[in-house]
Amino acid sequence: MAAALVLFIVVGTLLAVGLGANGPASLGTADLAAIRFTIVQALVSALFSVALAVPVARALARRRFRGRGLLMTLFGAPFILPVIVAVLGLLAVFGRNGLLNEALAALGFAKVSIYGFWGVILAHVFFNLPLAVRFLLQGWLDIPVERFRLAASLGVPVWRVLEVPMLRAVVPGTFVVIFVMCLTSFAVALTLGGGPKATTVELAIYQAVRFDFDLGKAAVLSVVQFGLCALVAVLAWRVSGERALGAGLDRVVQRWDRGGLGVDIVALCLAFLFLILPLGMVVVRGLPSLFELPPLVFEAALRSVAVALVSTALAIAITLAMAIRGGGLISLVGALPLAASSLVLGTGLFLIVQPFISPPKLALAVTALLNAVMSLPFVLRVIQPAVAQVETDYGRLADSLGLRGWNRMRILVLPRIRRPLGFAAGLTAALSMGDLGVIALFATDGQATLPLVMYQLMGSYRTGQSAGAALLLLILSLGLFWIFDRGGRSDAAT
């Protein structure tokens, strides 16, 4: 049932966009430019993220220092950080009146602009560098300590005999995962890109629906976008590691090669500053106006929390139903949303409901549903192994006692998977809270979620209010994650 629902949403909307598309002839030069830009920016973003992650991950793998745990937490933060909040933080550091340009001006240099191609890259690296670091660090930690001992006793360079081969195995998967994430980038392109030179396909879909009212073109672009993503997602699913989401990265492998301390310190400091400065600026700039925000911001915040909670409930219910079922087909269905982007699904649903009901009426419901579906691949990857473990450990006992259906769920499964469940729920809630995608496609006045209101405030240059809204959004997203994650941990008796 649950799998069928997901299948319907993904495949049904694709059918809708497929039928709505009227041939590649309607793709103009601007659309082709968008396709090219999408691919190029994703390639460059993935390249920079992975390349910069190598020295950082190596430093984390071989240095023991105070605050390492804190740094690892910081490296996990961008995953649940609302994109628009990060963009505002990046603008505060690298934007026209940001820290960097003020410093440059003080030194007599010309100002640099964050908008356009490099701005998009910068934001993508901000989000994906930490992810790449976690993937690569896992690779480092998977090298057995015995190998380092052997290399030390033979006096051969660790870099060449151990680290390069490891990277050769881990880097392609990391690269592809980041590439596919950047392919579907919408909020970053919306805020930092735009114009003929920096429009992603995702953004072009939005513009076709929102400004040109050209659903046919939106459908064609959606088909293109899906084709791109499906191709890469299949690749990503095959080569990706799956443990970067989990814990266990706090180990330091004992090794015997010395040196490189300076390089490590520089890499860690730069990475730390790169992540903490934008976040810090969100707090610094947002605090003054946090308590003077107009009522419409708080209304939007309430709406966002409601959407996030509904979305979380949906995602967890669907995931549990699918995880109980288990099996390869379920895994495949669960991975499907990876290949779909939120605007492609949004456009499809728009086309499906439009003949019957005015799409804006469903804006919030559709947003909650699509956010749930989009978080499914991550949530399923957290929950499914946990459910499988419970069945391995206690399935026979439950069978012998006749625990079936809801009793089995209530007495055995739910209590045993509290931690991953809490983590997954927190993840979904935070992702949904910060989502600025499909809501932009559907919403009219009076339905805007907090990220959308914040975007509108930024667009109308109400800097103070948008900074305040950003801080509120940051607090709510991290807060929701924290509450759910905590809920899973407390009373975790074994």
Partner 1 sequence: MLRLENVLIEQGPFRLTADFTVKEGAITALIGPSGAGKSSLLSLIGGFYQVNQGRIFIGGRDVTDLPPSERSIASLFQDGNLFPHLMVVENIALGLRPSGRIDAQEAAQVRDVIASVGLEGMGERKPSELSGGQQSRVALARVLLQNKDVVLLDEPFSALGPALRIEMLDLVKERLAGRTILMVTHDPEDAKRVADQVIVVMRGEATQPVPTRDLFEVPTDALREYLGH
**CA Rg, the chain, in Å?**
23
Q: How many CB atoms lie within 10 A of CB 290?
A: 16
- How many residues touch partner 1 (CB under 8 A)? 17
Q: How far apart are CA 426 and CA 410, in angstroms?
A: 20
SS (H, E, C) 388-415: HHHHHHHHHHHHHHCCCHHHHHHHHHHH
Q: Which of 237, 446, 228 is nearest to 343 (CA)?
A: 228
- By CB under 8 A, name the one of 397, 444, 459, 460 that touches partner 1: 397
Residue 394, interface with partner 1 (CB under 8 A)? yes
Q: Does 25 bind partner 1 (CB under 8 A)?
A: no
At closest approach, how far in Å is the CB of 186 from partner 1? 42
**Rule CB under 8 A: is residue 328 a binding residue for partner 1?**
no
Give the Cβ contact number of residue 108 at 10 Å. 6
Decide if 240 contacts 177 (C-beta within 8 A): yes
Check binding of 396 to partner 1 (CB under 8 A). Answer: yes
- 393 is an interface residue for partner 1 by CB under 8 A: yes
8-state DSSP, 194: B
Question: CB under 8 A: which stretch of 91-99, 173-181, 362-370, 396-404 binds partner 1?
Answer: 396-404
Q: How many CA atoms lie within 13 A of 272 on its CB side?
A: 14
386 near partner 1 (CB under 8 A): no
Q: Rule CB under 8 A: say whether 149 interacts with partner 1.
A: no
In the block, tokens 């006749």 appear at: 402
Residue 198's beta-bridge partner residues?
A: 194
Residue 366's contacts (CB-CB under 8 Å, 6 or more residues apart) are: 346, 349, 353, 359, 438, 442
**Binding of partner 1 by 460 (CB under 8 A):** no
- By beta-carbon proximity to partner 1, the closer residue of 313 and 411 is 411
- The span from the CA of 371 to the CA of 334, in Å, is 14
Minimum distance from CB of 310 to partner 1 (Å)?
28
CB of 126 to partner 1, least distance (A): 40
To partner 1, the closest distance from the beta carbon of 393 in angstroms equals 5
CA distance 167 to 174: 10
Site for partner 1 in 409-438 (CB under 8 A): 411-412, 415-416
Cβ proximity to partner 1, 298 vs 394, nearer residue: 394
Which residues within the stretch 192-211 sit at the binding site for partner 1 (CB under 8 A)?
none
Candidate list 36, 251, 361, 404; residue touching partner 1; CB under 8 A: 404
Residue 407 makes contact with partner 1 by CB under 8 A = yes
Binding residue (CB under 8 A) for partner 1 from 164, 399, 444, 489: 399
Q: Percent helix, strand and coil across the chain, each rounded to 5?
A: 80, 0, 20
Beta carbon nearer to partner 1, 153 or 400: 400
Interface residues with partner 1 (CB under 8 A) are: 393-394, 396-397, 399-404, 407, 411-412, 415-416, 493-494
